[in-house]
Amino acid sequence: MDYEIIRSNRKTLAAQITAKGLVIRAPYRCTDKEIAAFVEKNRDKIETYMERAKARRESLPDEPRLTMEEIRQLAEQALTCIPQRVAYYAPLVGVTYGKITIRNQKSRWGSCSSKGNLNFNCLLMLCPPEVLDSVVVHELCHRKEMNHSPRFYAEVRRVFPEYDKWHGWLKEHGEALLARMTG
C-alpha cells in the first residue's frame, strides 16, 4: 500500500484519505518500521475508507471549477464577513484570538493555531450562513480545547446549539464544494 508520510509534533499516528491517496500523519520520533506496522494493522479499515472515498468522489456532481477571479471575489467577501462573525462569537465563547487569514484550501474549512490565529476557507462564502457560523464557533472553541474531546464539543454546542445540523450539511455538501477549487 503506497502512502505519504507527514511528520509533525503530534503524539499519535493517524491515517488520512485525501484526493491524492493515503497520508500517514506521524510524530517526529516515530520510525518508518512503526509506521509500516500501523498501516498493516489498519489495512482493512484503511482500504474500506479509501473505497468509500473513491465512490463518494465519483458520485459528486460535475460542477465547474471556480476561476481564479471567482476565488478572489470569494476571498474578498470572506475578508469582510468572517471577521465580523468571529468578533460576534468570540465573547460568547469567552476567548480572544489573533490574526484571521482567509485561504483557498482544497481540504480544510478552518483551523486554529496554538497562538490563536484563525484560518478560514473562502469557500465558506458558498455555504449557508449557519455553516459559516458553525465553523467559526468550532475554531474559536479550539482556543479553550485544542482537541476534539467531548468537552470541546460540549462547548461548541453550548455556544451554537444547532452545530450538529450544520456540521452535517457541511459533511454532505462540502466535498462537492471543495472539488470546485482550482489548482
CATH code assigned to 68-178:
3.30.2010.10
Q: Is residue 61 predicted with pLDDT exceeding 70?
A: no
Predicted confidence (pLDDT) per residue in 20-55, tens digit? 789 999 999 999 999 999 999 999 999 998 988 787
* Contact between residue 137 and residue 155 where contact means Cβ atoms under 8 Å apart: no
* Contact between residue 35 and residue 13 where contact means Cβ atoms under 8 Å apart: yes
The pTM of the full predicted model, rounded to 2 decimals, is 0.74
Query: 121 or 107: which carries more pLDDT confidence?
Result: 121
Predicted confidence (pLDDT) per residue in 71-110, tens digit? 999 999 999 999 999 999 999 999 999 999 999 888 889 9
* Contact between residue 78 and residue 125 where contact means Cβ atoms under 8 Å apart: yes
pLDDT attached to residue 56: 72
Portion of the chain with pLDDT greater than 70, in percent: 96
- From CA 144, how far away is CA 130, in angstroms rounded? 22
Q: pLDDT band for position 128 (50/70/90)?
A: very high
Query: How is the beta sheet containing 100-103 ordered, strand by strand?
Result: 100-103, 118-121, 110-112
What is the full DSSP assignment across 84-125? HHHHHHHHHHT-----EEEE--SS-SEEE-TTS-EEEEGGGG
- From CA 47, how far away is CA 17, in angstroms rounded? 10
Strand pairing report for 14-18 and 21-27: antiparallel
Q: Which three cell numbers stand for residue 99?
A: 490574526
Q: CA-based Rg of the chain, rounded to a whole angstrom?
A: 18
SS3 68: helix
Residue ranges per structural domain of the chain: 4-59, 68-178
